[in-house]
Structure formats: structure tokens, C-alpha cells
Amino acid sequence: MLFKKIFIYLLSGIALLFIIQNMSMVEIRFFLWSFALPLALFLPVMLIIGFAIGWLWHTPVHDDKKS
């Protein structure tokens, strides 16, 4: 139990440090759209999108027409 709390505090501290150090704005251009947001927000969003694509890519597709 103590190890779990220490691990959670350590990861929270690392995440907070990452956010503080990456507050600079980055410009994102996608086709005709352009917008700016902090790098600390952009990276987790891209990570979540990547996980979602990977999860959808490896989700088994059941085909009713078996030969």
C-alpha cells in the first residue's frame, strides 16, 4: 500500500514537472485549420489519439461469412 502511494506521488510529480516545463505555445496546422495550444496539452491528446487508433486497429472484426 505504501509503495502504491509513493509511486502515485512520484508519477504525479513527474507529470506536474512536465506540464510546467512545456507551457510554451505551439502552432498546429492541419489542412486549412491553424491553431495554437500549449505543448503540454498537445502531447497527451496525440497520445490518446494514438492509443485509440491502435486499439481500433487491433480490435478483432467478426465476419459472419465464413467459408
Does the residue 16 lie in any domain? Answer: yes
Does the residue 66 lie in any domain? Answer: no
Specify the pLDDT at position 49. 92
| Of the listed ranges 7-11, 39-43, 57-61, the one predicted with least confidence | 57-61
Does the residue 63 lie in any domain? Answer: no
State how many domains the chain has.
Answer: 1
Taking a C-beta distance cutoff of 8 angstroms, is the pair 36, 28 a contact? Answer: yes
Neighbouring residues of 21: CB distance < 8 A, sequence distance ≥ 6 = none
- The residue with greater pLDDT, 61 or 58, is 58
Does the residue 14 lie in any domain? Answer: yes
Does the residue 64 lie in any domain? Answer: no
Question: CA 29, CA 36: separation in Å to the nearest integer?
Answer: 9
Specify the pLDDT at position 47. 87
> What range defines the domain where residue 53 resides?
2-57
pTM of the model: 0.58
Specify the pLDDT at position 67. 52
**Per-residue pLDDT tens digits for 8-39:** 899 889 988 888 888 889 998 989 999 898 88
